Amino acid sequence: MLGYIIRRLWQMIPTLFGVMLLVFVVFNWVGGDPSYILAGKRLSPDALAAIRAQLGLDQSLPAQFWLFVKQVAHLDFGLSWSLQQPVTRILAERIGPSLTLTGTLLVVELCAALPIAVLVAYYRAKLIDRVVTIVCTVAMSVSSLVYIIVGQYVLAYQADWFPVQGWYDDSLLHSWLVFVPLPLILGLAVSLAPDVRFYRSFVVEELQQDYVRTARAKGLSERVVLFKHVLRNALIPVVTTVASSLPFLVLGSMLLERFFGIPGMGNELLAAVDKSDFPIIKAITITIAVATMVFNLLADVLYKWIDPRVELK
């Protein structure tokens, strides 16, 4: 186990280098020249030259990439080109709202989707299974924008149950109690249906395995078979799904943050793309890449814990 973890950690280094190279090439190829955006109406050659020198864009591409590598190594991405503030401080202020929203959404979604999936799989091919399948299919066919717009209009504007937009920067708890419930409800409306169908398919597939028939032949009750044997094996793909979602907790939900005015990482990333703010873009991208590799490694370790038969090579 320890040798496998060490090998995986070493493999992260070339992977991270490839991500940095890809981000740098894509930004310099299609990102345009941010000096034109930052200069505004002052498009004189002297103003553009001064801005390019300040941003380091007057250096050669290899020199700019080497500076990028050193910034990642020191976890210091410099100043935001548009805000002229340290990138690390900006992201530290934005990550709290994103984790408050998406972390709550992930936990509630998992706690709701998995029991429903197990329930309908237990009563598969019966009325409750068919009703839930139809409801999930209808829910999945509706665009997430419809949920957000209709939810804001009905629940916030007409019923006045929730605020339409807003956030308290100085109190995450207050924001969680006041501003998170509505985007949480709408986020669940969007994501719950596909997750229920996804998890149900894993449970049903496990129920058709040979070891299930053997357990039933030994006289074990259906509940013991389901919760003691089937559910444990079905947790492996669930762990895979959750682990692939964890890195994006850092990024947040761009759509929900934009519509509800939540000052999170997703909203900040959209603003950075609009302004070609490369330091913020690369900092968020590298953070997501590292989080993805770390959580994938964590998922592999959890596989071994859930099912000792899994071999890590």
- DSSP letter string over 69-94? HHHHHHT---B-TTT-SBHHHHHHHH
- In the structure, what pLDDT confidence band is assigned to residue 175 with cuts at 50, 70 and 90? confident
Summarised one tens digit per residue, pLDDT across range 221-255 is 777 777 777 777 777 777 777 777 777 676 667 78
Taking residue 104's Cβ as centre, other Cβ atoms within 10 Å add up to 16
Question: At which residue do the structure tokens 């209009």 appear?
Answer: 153
The number of CA neighbours under 13 Å toward the Cβ of 241 is: 19
pLDDT at residue 42, rounded to an integer: 58
**Cα(69)–Cα(83) distance, integer angstroms:** 22
pLDDT band at 88; cut points 50, 70, 90: confident
The helices-and-strands tally (H runs, E runs) of the chain is 16, 0
Whole-number pLDDT of residue 38: 64
The architecture CATH gives domain 87-306: Orthogonal Bundle (1.10)
Whole-model pTM: value is 0.75
Asked whether residue 94 carries a pLDDT value surpassing 60, the answer given is yes
The per-residue pLDDT for range 280-296, each reduced to its tens digit, is 888 888 888 888 888 87
Q: How far apart are CA 184 and CA 253, in angstroms?
A: 11
Phi and psi at residue 59, to the nearest 5°: -85, 170
Token couple for 285: 């991208």
Q: How far apart are CA 215 and CA 234, in angstroms?
A: 16
Task: pLDDT band for 194, please (50, 70, 90 cuts).
Answer: confident
Taking the chain, what is the end-to-end CA distance rounded to the nearest angstrom?
A: 9
Q: What are the C-alpha distances in Å from 187 to residues 167, 177, 258?
A: 17, 16, 13
The whole-angstrom separation of Cα 232 and Cα 228 is 7
Domain with CATH 1.10.3720.10 in the chain: 87-306
The count of other CB atoms within 10 Å of the CB of residue 15 is 13
Token pair of 259, please? 């519509």
Map tokens 């237990």 to a residue: 122
C-alpha to C-alpha distance for 272 and 306, rounded to whole angstroms: 41
**99 CB burial (10 A radius; 0-12, 13-18, 19+):** middle
pLDDT at 310: 59
Phi first, then psi, for residue 109 (nearest 5°) are -65, -45
Rg for the chain, CA atoms, rounded: 24
In angstroms, the CA 241 to CA 195 distance is 9
Q: Give per-residue pLDDT as tens, 113-149.
A: 888 888 888 787 788 888 888 888 888 888 888 888 8
208-226 pLDDT tens trace: 777 777 877 877 777 777 7
